Structure 1
């Protein structure tokens, strides 16, 4: 036996479909094309910022003090045992990296006056890559890291420059820190204002406490009829 079929006239009504039920399908997922465009621009900005790390390496090799060395027939020694050239090299890199973070962020803000998480991530990632590229470029352009071979070439008793090194690796963070601080300051001073929040639909038509009238409550019908039928009081 089979269960009797429900007649077509007694079928339950179908629930209405609302277009808001599936916003992801209509708009291509969370964020849609706007988010994709932000990600593409962020990737391009990160690459351009990182490419300027080559200039950082050039300036670091040019401005940083080099450590003078001297050798005899067996060993290599520091020419100035109390010299601070290595500390000066780290300080020069830190100041240059911080300045590059400020300048690159200001240039990006000049051409693109919008913020957002993708832009901040692009500036931080690009700053880290640019600092690492500048570090490697400066060491590659500096004196050879093979100190023994360099000492043989110049001969005993002749001073020569040691390799350019970064002792404090934390200086690599100076670029992204400068970028984030500059982005915060420029966004606070020159960024577009935040949009005003929308008024909920149940408050539309009512007016707030800034000297505006609020909607008066409705008087019941029986109370109005009773008030109209009451005779006026004798004076």
Structure 2
């Protein structure tokens, strides 16, 4: 009768998946990894909020520049109504074009600024850029009306007098121009991040790092069983 090679309820010494004798498993702390990821996500969200607020507030600058640079639409009043002085004028279209150009320029600046603030990128920062630029464009549209000629055309006509020429309130004819700023800002930021952004190191899996440094293995045990 032959004795069993390995005692019952004990793993075989030749099991390739067995931890080497004398080796210690490296400590694995999933809680630490989760807390680190949570801290990084919280930092990204804070930076995204900063980008959103600063970009939205920059809409006041857009409104001021638009009211200053946009061509004025001349109106003329009579005793009965108010008319366009030049019915074939293109000042209204020019005002839309100035708004788009200013929005593209601010999109370039805000996209670059967000990239310099957070070179690693991230979804919160991109969302902050997009939402902040959209809010800034809307605020610039409203602010242009505040900084420009008054929207009360009747009162303005009465103040100017009959036959006098005065400026029409600043209006945005093509509402799609509000998307120029967010599109430009997001594209600039994504392009800069793709070319010069910080890359996370690729994880490397090492058996030794997981199982620990194995000790010097001794000679394989010999079969001492007898028939």
CA 1:165/1:74 → structure 2, altered by over 3 Å: closer, same or farther?
same
The answer to whether structure 1 residue 133 and structure 2 residue 133 are counterparts is no
Alignment match, 1:157: 163
Alignment match, 2:224: none
Give deviations 1:164-184, integer Å, cap 9, x for gaps.
001111111111100111012
Measured in 1, the distance between the counterparts of 2:44 and 2:169 equals 42
Structure ranking higher on relative contact order (CA contacts 8 Å, 6+ apart): 2
Question: Greater shift after overlay, 109-118 or 153-162?
Answer: 109-118
Give deviations 1:54-93, integer Å, cap 9, x for gaps.
1111100000011100011001000000001111111110
Alignment match, 1:34: 40
Contact conserved, 2:107 with 2:133, CA < 8 A, in 1? yes
4+ runs of 1 displaced by more than 3 Å? 25-31, 197-201
Give deviations 1:24-78, integer Å, cap 9, x for gaps.
x666679422211211121111101111111111100000011100011001000
When the two chains are superposed, the root-mean-square deviation of aligned CA atoms in Å is 2.3
Q: How does 1:1-235 map to 2 (within 5 A)?
A: 23=30, 31-199=37-205
Query: Matched residue of 1:70: which SS?
Result: strand
Measured in 2, the distance between the counterparts of 1:114 and 1:29 equals 19
Question: For structure 1, which runs of at least 5 residues remain unmatched after alignment?
Answer: 1-18, 205-235
Question: For structure 2, which runs of at least 5 residues remain unmatched after alignment?
Answer: 1-26, 211-227
